[in-house]
Amino acid sequence: MTKYSKNSAAAAGLANCLGCGLVSPVEKKQCPRCHAPLNLRKPYSLQLSLALLITAFIIYIPANLVPIMITEKLAKVEYVTILGGIIELWQDGSEPIAVVVFVASVLVPIIKFIILFLLYFSVRFAPGMSITKRMMLFKLTHLIGRWSMVDIFVMAVLVALIQMNHFLSVLPGGGAIAFAAVIILTIFAANSFDPRILWDNLPQSDVDENK
């Protein structure tokens, strides 16, 4: 059974409408202003967030194995994966771009996966984790999420520059579509997660310390 923190709106039976933001008694079932359904927490927040996260993790594997870019020069075709592109950029002397692509394509998604899985684990299996750590992890997901699409823009600029050479053509590979799907799914997973549940089932001492 969910235990809401003392003196919270949920403990008083008040729900914040997700449509217009009006706070109303949850017993009314519908918002009196916009008639949206009222719930103390986002319905199936954990389940939906976890389902999106697992789907993104599964797609992340082919996103790294399937070519993200297909280049053709003088009838010679090359298939470039994300990691292969990073290595090529580094070997060609473009170390800063290689670092940016590595951070945005490899490091950021992995960190986001770990953080969201930790949040889910803390809510379901580790209620003793302090609310300070929980909120810090949640804010970190939104902070690093801003940099998720940086490498796509970098690739777009590189492709535009390469296409200026009439002897070389570049086409997007299936890896680019898979990687874009991973980014979108992780964004949806983070947005589906209701941060208010991080405050539920906490010891009252933890709640009092963070007033």
- Segments of the chain assigned E as strands: 14-16, 23-25, 69-73, 76-80, 168-172
Q: Indicate the pairing of strand 168-172 with strand 14-16.
A: unpaired
The predicted pLDDT at position 38 comes to 87
pLDDT surpasses 60 at 5: yes
Same domain, 128 and 145: yes
Which has more confidence, 83 or 149? 83
- Look at residue 59 in the predicted model and tell me its pLDDT: 93
> How many other β-carbons are positioned within 10 Å of the β-carbon of residue 98?
19
48/130 same-domain check = yes
What residues have CB less than 8 Å from 35, skipping those under 6 apart? none
Query: Which has the higher per-residue pLDDT, 92 or 204?
Result: 92
Residue 157's pLDDT is 58
Q: Phi and psi at residue 30, in whole multiples of 5°? A: -130, 150
Query: Binning pLDDT at 50, 70 and 90, where does residue 55 land?
Result: very high
Range of the domain at 87: 44-209
* Closest of 130, 113, 118, 129 to residue 55, by C-alpha: 113
How many Å from the N-terminal Cα to the C-terminal Cα in the chain?
24
Judge if 189 and 95 occupy the same domain.
yes
pLDDT mean over 79-99: 81
Model pLDDT, residue 182: 87
| Whether 128 and 60 share a structural domain | yes
Tell which wins on pLDDT, 31 or 197. 31
